Amino acid sequence: MPNVSIVIPTVNEEFVIGRTLSHLRDNLPRGAYEIIVVDDESTDRTVDIARKSADKVIVRTGEIHSIPRGKNAGGRAAQGEFIAFLDADCEPEKPKEFFEKALALFNENPALTGLTCSLKVFPSMATWADRLVFGGVNLTFRLINNVLRRGGASGEFQMVRRRTFEATGGFNETLPVAEDQDFFQRVAKLGRVRMEPGLTVWHTGRRAHKLGWPRLLMHWWVNYLSITLRGKSAFKEWKVIR
């Protein structure tokens, strides 16, 4: 039985999913980790590519595209004691060492229910604005989790014990946006949450590059405040960015 289940939700991710899966598959020992891709009826080659590397590919049909529903489907199918939710364009730095350190943090602290990490844009894609903003984002999540213990993490990477996922009921499927923030805030109510600056996940930064940082930052903060204060998303849709 795997120790860690890595759940990756997808919809039309043919340009990034192959690289992400190869990065994980080539650097993690088989058996100890399982990779689960949950696809929402992609119309491109995402599913075909995923089936070459993932341990499980779940294709959801007949429902409106929903990130939280996809994550929940993956979480329910997971066999590992721990579940890591990862976006399709994200790569943990040195995966084997990354997860070994993550597991050590959980093992050292039985009260730890949720873990997130530093987020950085791939050096070949990063702009000065990416470096500046994600530096601030990482500091903010470090404050929210490690000091205030309120719980806060974006969907690029969240790792929880499977029993924690089950105890929370998973992601709130009524939320089209900010389901990641809502989930981690509920995880924080069950124990300790941590942002570990010594762990890094690299990603494409594509949403900021597509929308522009001013617009994306406004979306982030409005949704975070809405989830924290009202328990609901401020926006009705979170458009897929390719």
Domains of the chain, first to last: 4-230 (3.90.550.10)
Q: How far is CA 136 from the centre of its chain?
A: 19
**24 confidence band (pLDDT: 50, 70, 90):** very high
What is the CB-side half-sphere exposure of residue 188 using CA atoms within 13 A?
22
List pLDDT tens digits, range 158-167.
999 999 999 9
Give me the pLDDT at residue 218, please.
75
* Measured distance CA(207)–CA(5) in Å, rounded: 26
Percent of the chain residues topping a pLDDT of 90: 79
On average, the pLDDT of the chain sits at 91
Give me the pLDDT at residue 139, please.
97
Pair 121, 130: CB distance under 8 Å: yes
- pLDDT surpassing 90 at residue 231: no
List pLDDT tens digits, range 91-136.
999 999 999 999 999 999 999 999 999 999 999 999 999 999 999 9
Is the torsion defined by CA of 34, 115, 118, 39 positive or negative?
positive
Pair 187, 160: CB distance under 8 Å: yes
Give me the pLDDT at residue 141, please.
96
Give me the pLDDT at residue 163, please.
97
* Measured distance CA(35)–CA(24) in Å, rounded: 8
Give me the pLDDT at residue 165, please.
98
Give me the pLDDT at residue 1, please.
73
Whether the pTM exceeds 0.95: the reply is no
